[in-house]
Structure 1
Amino acid sequence: MVITVLVTWFIISRVGLDTAALRELNTDLLTPNFPLFVASSLLLMIGYAISATNWAYIVNDLGGPQIPKADAIRLFMIANLGRYIPGKIWQIAGLTALAKDRGVPPGTAVGAAVLGQGIALVAAAGLGIGLYDVILPPGYFGLISIVLIGSVVFPSYDTSIVQSWAKLWLRFMGSQTIETPSPTSGLRWLLLYFVNWIVYALAFWMMVASFDSDISLIPVAAAFPAAYVLGYLMIFFTRWTRSTRGFLDCLFITPSRFGTFWSHRGCCASLDYANRSGSSVCLLVSTHNI
């Protein structure tokens, strides 16, 4: 939770939000509808559980052992706490170390995590694609659309691509002999992550709606996966860290779409803090109770 506060404060400092802007904020606007806020947190926990089971499915499809869903969720939740340490490697390293005790070869665990992350990015980009046309320069929207469609259709049509990637990765990692993934594995993984991101997007919309009941479903829900993908791009195109994903959620919430309430930077920062705090609490509660 301390790291969550520090990361959020870093985001606020980067976008030029100072304490004076926060003092101008009408705190009465930030009183949530608590039943809806709690429901959002519960749905977020379900989303985490789906992510964990998706990873377990990929492990099994790559020749690893069949991990019980409860164990997979426990491992994934604990390892996911590593995302608050800069660098994606810590989350994957933690998952690999924990999975090894369940008989999962390190190469298989890492391969499933990396492969799942790549598929998740494609699914998230697909759900948020409608918003890219608003923020990208002319011409880029069509290019990204072609890349996304190709990354989905081509591997699904020629499933040997997915099989080759998986086998090459596991051989490079020195893993045990693996089974060849079934021809439908790539498409099944993609569908699972689409469902996963729909749950995440709905949870985000419910959280925002708990503060403002007049917002629209589709634009707000699509903002979360779109911002997630753009947060990864920030690694390569700016000197910001991946923590920019949190504030990118607010870039899509503009007065022209949702009213003047969301045009205030203090509201956006508070929304980001609620988003991060809620996800952190969900992870901690899940790892304690599962």
Structure 2
Amino acid sequence: MTKKLVRAGFLLVALGFGAWAVASQWDAVVAGFGRLTWPMLAGSLAAVIVALLGAMFTWRTLLSDLGSPLSVRQGAKVFFVGQLGKYIPGAVWPVLAQMEMGRDLGVPRSRSAAAFFLMMPIQLASGLLVTLVTLGWDQYGWLLLLLPVIFVLLEPKVINRVIGFGLRKLKREPLERPLTRRGMLTALVWALAGWIAYGVSLYFIVDAGLVFCVGAFALSWCLGIMTFVVPAGAGVREVAMVAVLAPVLDRGSAIAAALCSRIVIIVGDLICAGIAGLAARKTVERDTV
């Protein structure tokens, strides 16, 4: 009960400050949205869908490396439909949905859970690396302090021990197959491709360089990932993005860009989940005919 109250309180505070920021810069925010065109939004949405596909292939690679290969259609349905749970308060809904849908395809619950939780360190480590490379050492050199943590997060031996410890605590059976270095590197490549695509999506709605947009999105997303109590990092990611965009945009335009980016990603999530669900359903209907 206490944890739920903390999450709800944090979410209300984040949304409250967000609403105040928008209201205080209302004219500039409206002007920022007015600058956007439908081709810009369409390009941003297309890039977001590519980025979401990158995330799906990251997860699918991990699941396959752990011993449960799924077809693209199967993986897309489990991943995209399950990911809609991230918009519900609490961090457990996406993994619970993926565990249940994966079980219908013969994937053990423990393996689905392991693949889900492995996504976080891979995305966080790769996102911080992208930030270091793209945003410059002078302003974000403090991220170098996180390099040891990044390397630990990407070491399969360490990760396998952590997963084993967690499964023992939960009184679950250990994984039949440990994560391999090849699987980790392949997943990392897909994650990096996803960051680039997300940067392209921001580039379509922000008047700034592509490299800068890739880093700005990666940093703001990583800060959102580290905020577990807020559904999908709501509010935190936008605040971080406004701060990162401050050198190249006025505050109102930065707020408009952050809000627009959030909306485009939500639409992308819905599109991917809808298409994946329909494709999987048609496959089942064809197989039963």
TM tier, shorter chain? 0.7 to 0.9
Give 1:73's aligned amino acid: A
Report the alpha carbon displacement of residue 196 of structure 1 after superposing the two structures with TM.
2.0
| Amino acid aligned to 2:146 | V
How far has the Cα of 1:185 moved from its partner? 2.7
| Equivalent-residue separation in structure 2 for 1:232 and 1:152 (angstroms) | 14
Specify the alignment match of 2:4 in structure 1. Answer: none
Q: Does 1:52 align with 2:56?
A: yes
Aligned partner of residue 190 in structure 2, secondary structure: helix
Partner residue of 1:231? 224
Code of the residue aligned with 2:251 in structure 1: it is: H
Q: What letter corresponds to residue 252 of structure 1 in structure 2?
A: V
CA distance in 2: counterparts of 1:70 and 1:94, whole angstroms: 17
Bigger shift: 9-18 or 280-289?
9-18
Q: Which residue of 1 aligns with 2:251?
A: 264
For residues 112-154 of structure 1, give each alpha carbon's deviation from its aligned partner in whole angstroms, at most 9, with x where no partner exists.
1101111111001111125486767xxxx44x31432x34556
Match of 1:77 in 2: 80
Q: Return the alpha-carbon distance in structure 2 between the equivalents of residues 193 and 57 of structure 1.
A: 11
- Alignment gaps of 5+ in structure 2: 1-10, 277-289
| Distance in 2, Cα, partners of 1:39 & 1:151 | 35
The one of 251, 258, 267 equivalent to 2:243 is 251
Distance 2:165 2:37 in 1: 50
**Could you tell me the TM-score, scaled by structure 2's length?**
0.77
Question: Which piece of structure 1 moves more, 120-129 or 12-21?
Answer: 12-21
Which is richer in helix?
2
- The verdict on how the C-alpha distance between 1:125 and 1:15 changes in structure 2, with shifts beyond 3 A counting, is farther
* Corresponding residue of 1:4: none
1:6-85 mapped onto 2 (5 Å cutoff):
11=15, 13-14=17-18, 16-17=20-21, 19=23, 21-23=25-27, 27=31, 30-63=34-67, 65-85=68-88
Q: Letter of the aligned partner of 2:61 in structure 1? A: Y
Question: TM-score when scaled to structure 1?
Answer: 0.76
Question: Does the CA contact (< 8 Å) of 1:11 and 1:247 recur in 2?
Answer: no
Deviations 1:195-239, CA, capped at 9 Å, x for gaps? 22222222222232xxx3xx2222222111101122344569x9x
Tell me which amino acid in the other structure corresponds to 1:19.
A
Whether the aligned pair in 1 keeps the contact of 2:44 and 2:202 (CA below 8 Å) is yes
Please name the residue that 1:94 is paired with.
97
Q: Who is 1:218 aligned against?
A: 211
- Could you give the per-residue CA deviations for residues 260-285 of structure 1, whole angstroms, max 9, x where no partner exists? xx2133x2332222112111111212
Q: Does 1:203 align with 2:207?
A: no
Question: What one-letter code is carried by the residue in structure 1 that aligns with 2:123?
Answer: A
1:108–1:170 Cα contact (<8 Å) kept: no
Q: Is the 8 A contact 2:195 2:214 kept in 1?
A: no
Which residue identity does 1:85 align to in structure 2?
Answer: I
Q: Aligned partners of 2:227 and 2:152: how far apart in 1?
A: 27
SS at match of 2:178: coil
Q: Residues 33-83 of structure 1, C-alpha deviation per residue, up to 9 Å, x if partnerless? A: 3223212211211211121122111112112x2111112112211111122
SS at match of 2:245: coil
Paired with 1:8 and 1:40, the residues of 2 have a C-alpha distance of: 28
- Residues 168, 21 of structure 1: CA spacing in aligned structure 2 closer, same or farther, 3 A cutoff? closer
Please report how far the alpha carbon of residue 96 of structure 1 lies from its aligned counterpart in structure 2 after TM superposition. 1.7
Task: Say if 1:41 and 1:278, in contact at 8 Å, map to a contact too.
Answer: yes
Which stretch of structure 1 is more off in the superposition, 269-278 or 99-108? 269-278
CA contact (8 A) 1:54 1:192 kept: yes
Distance 1:50 1:274 in 2: 21
Question: Which of 161, 165, 182 is 1:164 aligned to?
Answer: 161
Change (3 A) 1:249 1:134: farther
Give the structure 1 partner of residue 116 of structure 2: 113
Taking only the aligned residue pairs, the percentage that are identical comes to: 16
Aligned to 1:275: 261
Distance 2:19 2:139 in 1: 17
Contact persistence 2:120–2:225 (CA under 8 A): no
